[in-house]
Amino acid sequence: MAVDTPRVPAPDEVLVALVANVDPEVRDAIDDVDRTLIALALSQSPWDRLRSASRTMKALVRIRDAAAPEGH
């Protein structure tokens, strides 16, 4: 006589369900992630990733400063 064992969900299924319950907008955003950018970043050395992050930070500071009203 065969015994039916309950199906145990995979860890990624549990995580997806948890995120969907906690914040559905985050779950929807997961589908919009460009995984090629993640793969590109992971293919770079740590120094290259740091240099890229530093350049991005400097660009964001310039944008913020240009958009800030005078005197602030």
Residue 1 lies in a domain: no
Residue 45 lies in a domain: yes
Residue 2 lies in a domain: no
Residue 24 lies in a domain: yes
Residue 42 lies in a domain: yes
Q: How would residue 71 be classed by pLDDT, with cut points 50, 70 and 90?
A: low
Q: How many domains does the chain have?
A: 1
Put simply, whether the predicted model's pTM sits higher than 0.75 gets the answer no
Domain that holds residue 38: 12-67
Q: Where are the alpha helices (DSSP H) in 1-72?
A: 11-22, 24-30, 35-43, 46-67
What spatial distance separates the first Cα and last Cα of the chain, rounded to whole Å?
77
Q: What is the pLDDT of residues 3-57, one digit of tens each?
A: 778 887 787 888 888 888 888 888 888 888 899 999 999 999 999 999 999 999 9
Residue 5 lies in a domain: no
pLDDT at 70 over 80: no
